[in-house]
Every structure is written in structure tokens, then in C-alpha cells.
Amino acid sequence: MIRVWSKFLLTVFAGLFLSSCAEMACFDPTPGYNLECSRARADKANKRHKEYFQQQQADWSASANRQARENAAKESNAIVERGKVYYDQGQYEQAIAEFDNAIGVNSQSVWAYSFRGEAYKNLGRFDRALADFDKALTLDSTYAYAYWARGELYHFMKNYSRALADYTQAISRNANDALARNGKAWLLATVSDASIRNGSEAVRLAAEAVRLNDHAYYRDTLAAAYAESGQFSKAVEEMKKAIQMLRASGDTAMMAEFENHMRLFEQRRPYHE
């Protein structure tokens, strides 16, 4: 029994020794000492190098794509700026052509879709305008300007519930959005549907808009809000400021309408669209 057990132990230790020798051979620096181990080491090194170069290639590709996107965005923005020049001049068809070009360069341009929507709106092509505002917000659901622009379109289309929702979204996305505050305040102060009008909320929003941007149009909205809430003396006071600001700026396009508002408020009557 002892002899059998000794033979077993000898076999085990011999196996361990040979295994240890084989592993040590793999680390022997002599060329050709262990061909199989040399091949294994070469395969392992090749695998590491392949993985490294694959990662390098992926990094280079990502960097190139990122640079290409940045270049496209810059070029697209420059084209949008050209389109805005046409837009400001009332040349909406030419503006749309430029915005089309901008989108062709960068299909992800939220800016181009938003301004093209504005141009379509001014041409009375409301379906196209709405599609562009929707696309802009699909690309960037945080873009306050597109919410305001779509809210203005819904307001014009007399879809007041959606207009209010978009104005509210714009305000929540941009704490300094005077446009959206003014739009929502004007709707709440002047809408023909009495169930929607809310004079006190309109005053709050219009006052915030004036604080953010002291503009004659915003003063006009604040006056309409005061009139809707029954504060006609304040309404008249705000209209006087608004008219004075128009005269100082040389903007006479809205003067007749402002003066009409003034007469209504002096007669203690609110203005409703």
C-alpha cells in the first residue's frame, strides 16, 4: 500500500514539475527554445496590436465625423444668417431658398427649420410652417424659440389651448424668454373667448416681459392686461409710455393701433381681438 501511494505521489509531482518546466520554457529568451510558446506569444502580441489599431481607427473615425459635423454646422449657420437677411427684408421666398440650402448642408439644423417655419407662416403656408416647427422640436425638445414660434402660429390659427401650452413650454425652457411671456399675456388679455381670458395672470406675465425687455409692444400688452383686469388708469399710463417709445424709435407702423387702444382704455373698455 505504501509502495502504491509513493508511486502515485511521484506521478503527481512529476506532472507538476513538467508543467512548471513547460511554463518556464515559454519565458525562456533563447530563440527557438520552445516553438509552440513562441507562436503563442506572437499570436497574443498580434491580437493586442490588432485591438489597439482597431481602437485607434475607431477614435480617428469618430474624431473625423465630429469635425465633419462641426464644419457642416458652421456652414449651415452661415447660410441661415444669409436667409435671415432676406427674411428681415420681407423676401420670404428667397429666405426659404437659403434655409433649404442650410438644411441640405446640415439636416439637423434646428435653427434652419425654425426660421423656415417663420417664413412659411408669413406666407400663409401654415401646414408647412407647422411641419417645420414640429421638426425643430423633434430635433431639440428644449428649444424655447421653436415653442414660441409654434405657439404664435397656433394663436393665429385660433387653437388657443395649444398656443398656451407652447408659450408655457417656451417660458419653462428659457427663464428670460420675454417673447413667450408677451405672447401668452396678450392671448390671456385679449382673446375673444372669455373662458380663456385671465387679466391678473396676463398682468404678471406682461410685467415680467417688460422687465426683461422694455419694448413698446410689451408695454402695449401690459396696458391691455391692466384693462382686462379693470385697472384702466394703469392701462392708460402704460399706453402713453408705449406711444412715446414708438415715436422715439421712429416706428410708426403700429401708431394708429396703439392710439386706438388708448381711446378704448380712456373709455374704460378693454381691448379684445
Name the residue ranges covered by the structural domains of the chain.
177-273
Most confidently predicted of 31-40, 56-65, 227-236:
227-236
Percent of the chain with pLDDT over 70: 74
Please state the pTM of the whole predicted model.
0.73
Buried b (16+ CB within 10 A) or exposed e, 173-202: bbeebbbbbbbbbbbbbbbeeeeebbbebb
Question: Taking the chain, what is the end-to-end CA distance rounded to the nearest angstrom?
Answer: 113
C-alpha cell, 152: 404664435
The pLDDT of 193-197, averaged and rounded, is 96
Tens digits of residue pLDDT in 52-111: 656 655 555 555 456 656 776 788 889 999 999 999 999 999 999 999 999 999 999 999
At 18, the pLDDT band (50, 70, 90 cuts) reads very low
Q: Dihedral of CA 194/199/200/203: which sign?
A: positive
44/42 Cα distance (integer angstroms): 5
* pLDDT of 16 above 50: no
Query: How far is the CA of 138 from the CAs of 46, 56, 127, 222, in angstroms?
Result: 46, 34, 16, 33
Tens digits of residue pLDDT in 156-182: 999 999 999 999 999 999 999 999 999
In this predicted structure, which of 16-30, 70-84, 149-163, 252-266 has the lowest mean pLDDT? 16-30
C-alpha cell, 120: 412659411
Closest to 178 measured CA to CA, from 219, 129, 239 = 219
Contact present, 103 and 113 (Cβ < 8 Å): yes
CATH classification for the domain delimited by 177-273, as one of 3.40.390, 1.25.40, 3.40.720, 1.10.20: 1.25.40
Residues 6+ apart with CB under 8 A from 132: 113, 114, 116, 117, 120
**Following DSSP, what letter does each residue of 85-144 receive, concatenated?**
HHHHTT-HHHHHHHHHHHHHH-TT-HHHHHHHHHHHHHTT-HHHHHHHHHHHHHH-TT-H
Quick count: other Cβ atoms within 10 Å of Cβ 257?
Answer: 11
Closest to 273 measured CA to CA, from 186, 215, 151 = 186
Identify which has the larger pLDDT, 10 or 232. 232
Contacts made by residues 145-150, CB under 8 angstroms, sequence distance 24+ = 145/114, 145/170, 145/179, 146/110, 146/113, 146/114, 146/117, 147/173, 147/180, 148/177, 148/179, 148/180, 148/183, 149/114, 149/117, 149/118, 149/121, 150/117
The pLDDT of 8-34, averaged and rounded, is 44
